[in-house]
Structure 1
């Protein structure tokens, strides 16, 4: 059995529980962000190689170097996995990710200009399985619009793909994020972040602390009562993810 990059990707696919609805619901926010990032990256590759008509779920390697093949044992082991997957676009991306790994192995400089297209999608699959493609993309817990190549290519990038950061973005209900700002601590480098999470009509205010987890906070309630001098501004999930990852790296001494 080969131990090639394509085999490593296949091994990741083979251990995924494609019917794990519980995981899909537990990771709704992070899975949605990962899918949007795949759509953005795939759009960039489609534009670069004139493959807009094949976007969004396509074999990108085939448009770059059609001669690329995977080892025979990988191809043979991939076939039974694909047979049980639906829809067809899910099968296409799984085989495309395996072939992409072989392409990268043959062309090490491939990612100098554009990011790896399939990594966000692989991470999404690992956090609750696949998707259903209808008028909207159904991720089994959230539905997102496809839109078109141009609009996806121009969206904000989501580059924080570490499991710890993705886990921190998940939580039951709908979350709104805020950055605590002051002199010397602008929006892109806040004093801290908090979120208001609403689940089953219950409101939970939480701050991401130096313990690297969300903990209850009275900050937003005190602010509404004029008992807090620290200001805040609403931010996106992607901005919250950047703060979480930066703090994690700082406390780990890797930044």
Structure 2
């Protein structure tokens, strides 16, 4: 059993800082869309690799990799106010936060066991940091200024990786402003 509490706490702090900003979400709608697509692709690949297709794209990837993983829920609840209404129109919800924090608590285990797979949650974290969470309904992710179909797991897993470095994301948003 691996539990990297320090990594889990750093992730909680990162998630606790997320806020939805309507103007920013609109200005960054292209990059947020790209990040949503890449999140779906990466989680599909991990779900298939770990046999965790159930509930994709919100599969419990961390528990599939290490069934003995344990993270104190109090760590999360202490720093993230899920119910206070301070997180905006598109909040980061428990069912999204818990798997991300659990994944962080695995430390280097995912890279050691599956070096060919990219971090499944980094695109989602970047999307959150570019102005908040999303809503999910009828197998669509609603980002505030665009909705994207979740699609089928196998089809998402076959897609090519998209670059998600900050300069590329900023360039996507700058192109959008010029249009």
> Do both share a fold (TM > 0.5)?
yes
Work out the number of aligned pairs and report it.
Answer: 172
| TM-score (normalizing by structure 2) | 0.82
- Is this contact kept in 2: 1:41–1:117, CA < 8 A? yes
Unaligned ranges ≥5, structure 2: none
Aligned partner of 1:139 among 122, 138, 143: 143
Deviation at 1:58, TM superposition (A): 3.0
Alignment of 1:123-202 (within 5 A): 123-135=126-138, 136-158=140-162, 160-171=163-174, 173=176, 197-198=178-179
TM-score by length of 1: 0.60
1:3 Cα offset (Å): 7.3
Partner-residue secondary structure (3-state), 2:82: helix
Larger Rg: 1
The 1:47/1:66 distance shift into structure 2, 3 A limit, reads same
User: Structure 1's 105 and 75: CA in aligned 2 closer, same or farther, altered over 3 A?
Assistant: farther
Contact conserved, 2:5 with 2:71, CA < 8 A, in 1?
no
Q: Which residue does the alignment assign to 1:27?
A: 28
Q: Which runs of 5+ in 1 are unaligned?
A: 175-196, 199-255
Deviating runs (4+, > 6 A) in structure 1? Answer: 85-89
More strand by share: 1
More helix by share: 2
- Over aligned residue pairs, what C-alpha RMSD do you find? 2.7
Please say if 1:103 is aligned against 2:106: yes
- Cα shift readout 1:168-206 (whole Å, capped 9, x = no counterpart): 1104758xxxxxxxxxxxxxxxxxxxxxx53xxxxxxxx
Deviation of 1:116 (Å): 0.6
